């Protein structure tokens, strides 16, 4: 809790056993996953992912940060490998999936992906969101790990220039997590990842949770 409040992220190792991870990978291999180059979007609609998103080990973590009725609302399976390799520049996660478009002060710009409406949300809303990233492979310095700028989650929603200025002067941290470990992060922490330099895959299941009483200014989150 202290790490999340102060730094915007925390790492918990050995949350899931090797058997848990192998079972999840086996379940995913048998599912008809609709993949993009980077992995699978809107992944909560798949039963295996919906089940693990509600696993007490994750829910209890989310509840400690967001309140006793935290709920998962979005999941993404990232699958970085030698065949599907990319980098992500420094940024914040500010877009949320919503039921419908309504023009509201502080929200936007708006977009649509795979039939789902998205809007960039204000900082007060994003403060009520937490992402938990289950590592399905060891995350090392060679396979394009997540990098963060600690403490930047407290600075509000930043523009591109502000983000680049922070990246030039703040110390970055590589989030190295073994398979079965979980990285918790606030969406406003500035983060990035490099291309992988090894043949070892980096698969991460990124699940986002919201406080059940999250105030969306009359808007509603889009659930699968």
> Whose CA is closest to 187, among 146, 140, 144?
146
pLDDT given at position 82: 61
Whether residue 182 is contained in a domain is answered as yes
pLDDT given at position 201: 79
pLDDT given at position 168: 96
- The separation between the first and the last C-alpha atoms of the chain, rounded to the nearest angstrom, is 29
**How many domains does one find in the chain?**
1
- What CATH number is associated with residue 21? 2.60.120.620
Distance from C-alpha of 89 to C-alpha of 79, rounded to nearest angstrom: 17
Whether residue 219 is contained in a domain is answered as no
Whether residue 159 is contained in a domain is answered as yes
Whether residue 215 is contained in a domain is answered as no
Whether residue 73 is contained in a domain is answered as yes
> Whose CA is closest to 166, among 184, 147, 140, 183?
147
- Give the range of the structural domain holding residue 176, as residue numbers without chain letter: 2-210
Per-residue pLDDT of the chain (224 residues; tens, 9 = 90+): 889 999 999 999 999 999 999 999 998 887 766 656 557 888 898 999 999 999 999 999 999 999 998 999 999 999 876 676 668 899 999 999 999 999 999 999 999 988 899 999 999 999 999 999 999 999 999 888 999 999 999 999 999 999 999 999 999 999 999 999 999 999 999 999 988 887 777 899 999 999 988 989 999 999 87
pLDDT given at position 37: 59
pLDDT given at position 79: 86
Whether residue 223 is contained in a domain is answered as no
Whether residue 224 is contained in a domain is answered as no
Whether residue 221 is contained in a domain is answered as no
Cα-to-chain-centroid distance, residue 124: 18
């Amino acid at each position: 809790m202290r790490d999340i409040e102060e730094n915007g992220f925390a790492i918990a190792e050995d949350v899931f056993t090797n058997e848990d991870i192998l079972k999840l990978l086996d379940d995913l291999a048998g599912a008809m996953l609709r993949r993009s180059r980077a992995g699978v979007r809107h992944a909560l609609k798949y039963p295996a992912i919906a089940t693990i998103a509600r696993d007490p080990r994750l829910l209890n973590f989310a509840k400690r940060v967001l309140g006793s009725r935290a709920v998962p609302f979005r999941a993404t399976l990232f699958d970085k490998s030698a065949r599907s390799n990319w980098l992500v520049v420094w940024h914040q996660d500010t877009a949320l999936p919503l039921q419908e478009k309504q023009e509201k002060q502080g929200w936007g710009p708006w977009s649509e992906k795979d039939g789902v409406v998205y809007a960039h949300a204000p900082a007060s809303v994003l403060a009520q969101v937490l992402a938990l990233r289950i590592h399905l492979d060891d995350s090392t310095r060679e396979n394009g790990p997540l990098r963060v700028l600690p403490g930047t989650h407290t600075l509000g929603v930043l523009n591109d220039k502000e983000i680049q200025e922070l990246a030039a002067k703040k110390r970055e941290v590589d989030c190295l997590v073994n398979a079965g470990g979980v990285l918790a992060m606030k969406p406003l922490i500035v983060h990035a990842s490099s291309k992988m330099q090894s043949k070892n895959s980096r698969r991460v299941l990124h699940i986002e949770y919201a406080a059940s009483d999250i105030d969306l200014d009359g808007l509603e989150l889009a659930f699968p």
